[in-house]
Structure 1
Amino acid sequence: MIALLSAPTNLGLRPPAPGRAPGTWRAPEALRAAGLHRRLEAAGAVDAGVVEPAPYVDDDGRRPPGTIRNQAAVVDHARRLARRVVELVDGGRAPLVLGGDCSLLVSAGLALRSVGAARGGGLVHVDGHTDFRHPGNSDAWGSLAGEDLAAAVGLHVPEVADVDGLGPYVDPARAVHVGCRDDDEHAAEARGLLAGVVPAAEVVDAGGAAVADRVLAVDGMRDGFWLQLDVDVLDPAWMPAVDSPDPGGLDPDQLVELLRPLAPWAVGASVTVFDPELDPDGRYAATVADVVVRGLGALGSRR
């Protein structure tokens, strides 16, 4: 049974303008208003509450060298969110974490390590970007929302990639990325380390169901994995309400076709980076809610 868990974080994103906080913290309640909770609860889901982060601080120019934006707050939230995810998994629930930005993937990684490999330690990372920036390949690192996959497989600074000595959170041989654009600057490196990298164009050409079959064929994946969905995998024609919209993405039906076969095998899932402040009339919240209900409605049912 799905447990809806709100994680309204924006800690891993750059400020949209000096002195402004990113709007992703508003996403869980915007999705509730769009009917997401009502539709999933009608099918048996439960509301598991909220894990609040510390307030966002634009700490550019003040944080120590070698640290990420809002580092202490990111790690604190990751620990608390991971504990709640573990409680839900141990209680037989499939957590559906509604972010927020994708820095919360660290919490999912901590939770995966805590419940043990026998409960599923893989990762399927569905995102319009590889999020594989890290100190070894870029001088522009420091915002975890663009670096979460690198952190999950142990390529970031230890303060975020090895919290409590539990890193790497995911074995690269059990991690697959789906959805980057063809010009993603870190795709080649990710392809050399992960079990698979499937650009959005391949999903469009092959079909989501066929790509899902390829993902599930990775050794150990049917033992369980975390499913991370960043909604900027959608083309901006369908989803402009994100911080980094890039052309060449999926349409909602293509994304649902990808997610629907994956969801039953997942330990849990997270949905991130939707920004309601870029959606004044709520139309894009309705799109996200519909994709989640149709694509993730059977989350964890094969567990």
Structure 2
Amino acid sequence: MPTNLGLRPPEPGSVPGAAKAPEALRESGLFHQLIELGALDAGVVLPGRYVDDDSTRESGHVRNEDALVEHGRRLAKRLEMILDAGNVPLVIGGDCSILLGVGVALARRGRTGLMHVDGHTDFRHPGNSDECASVAGEDLAAAVGSHWPAIADIDGLGPYFPPQRVVHIGHRDNDGEGTEARQKLGLVLSAREATSQTPASVATAAQAVAHPGYWLQVDVDVLDPSVMPAVDSPDSGGFMVEQLTQLLKLLAPGALGASVTVFDPDLDPDGRYARVVTDLIVGGLAHLGTAVYNAR
């Protein structure tokens, strides 16, 4: 899912680099390693053209809204094909606006829980901010129905995830929407709270809320910028790579699928951080879905 549609431009007239992530990760060996583990390459869902529309966008709309919704519908169709075939989808982003397409696909199938592992709550919405524009900072709010209907109720399917079955892990203590997220979601743990516990205790608490068969969304800015600076909004106080890998190992088997987002190759000129993301995905998600599908 090589999309950057949900991100703000890094500077006026430019486009974010997150759309390059799938090919940068392919170059780093990710696809080869996953295929060696038995994965199938299910292809690419191409997005529409990114437009820096800040000067022309009407109020009440997010950036690249039409293209973003259409891309979400096409992702949903692809995911439904994969799930109908009995396979476990792993979606490589791109930015985390792809959660909307994931949500549409799962809502059509009866709705599931959600594990949202992210360095930000992504809970900005029109009720708490006058700055709504970039869905990559608003995807979780939209996914539980707290946003404009154009993105939160695509095809009348919102909310895509029941809020009481949503777990968020990883925001920093200064996140402006953290308090509201705690009030509305099933479980919210900051990075500080999560890393002060064992991965096993975090996973146990999270799975009790989301229940097996959840979707696992991982935004790599949950990592501390000392180990992952190649993201558009790095904030100190995040996970170390081994901490996150161990947590994902515990969460992945109970997931029916996962998505990994927000790595920006434009901020990784020599490819070293692409290798970090590759190792994280292979090490943390190799057993994605095994508990869910083996139980069927």
TM-score above 0.5, yes or no: yes
Match of 1:109 among 103, 106, 118: 103
Q: 1:116 deviation in Å?
A: 2.0
The separation in 1 between residues aligned to 2:148 and 2:38, in whole angstroms, is 40
Match of 1:136 among 124, 127, 133: 127
Q: Deviations over 1:38-94 (max 9, x none)?
A: 111111011100000001000001012100000000000000001001110111111
Gaps of 5+ in 2: none
Q: 1:269 deviation in Å?
A: 0.6
Q: CA RMSD in A?
A: 0.8
- Of 205-214 and 123-132, deviating more is 205-214
TM-score (norm 2): 0.97
- Counterpart of 2:145 in structure 1 is 154
TM-score (norm 1): 0.95
Residue identity in the other structure for 2:211: M
Matched, 1:216 2:207: yes
Q: 1:201 deviation in Å?
A: 0.8
- Structure-to-structure mapping, 1:33-48, within 5 angstroms: 33-48=27-42
Contact kept, 8 Å, 1:153 with 1:171, in 2: the verdict is yes
The separation in 2 between residues aligned to 1:274 and 1:72, in whole angstroms, is 24
Match of 2:266 among 273, 277, 284: 277
- Counterpart of 1:231 in structure 2 is 220
Matched, 1:74 2:65: no
Residue identity in the other structure for 1:294: G
> What fraction of aligned residue pairs are identical, expressed as a percent?
59
- Counterpart of 2:253 in structure 1 is 264
Equivalent residue pairs, number: 292
Q: 1:257 deviation in Å?
A: 1.1
The 3-state SS of whatever aligns with 1:299 is coil
The separation in 1 between residues aligned to 2:198 and 2:31, in whole angstroms, is 28
Gaps of 5+ in 1: 1-6
Q: 1:188 deviation in Å?
A: 0.4
- Of 209-218 and 187-196, deviating more is 209-218
The separation in 1 between residues aligned to 2:20 and 2:283, in whole angstroms, is 22
The 3-state SS of whatever aligns with 1:190 is helix
The separation in 1 between residues aligned to 2:137 and 2:72, in whole angstroms, is 16
- Counterpart of 2:163 in structure 1 is 172
Match of 1:64 among 58, 65, 83: 58
- Counterpart of 1:25 in structure 2 is 19
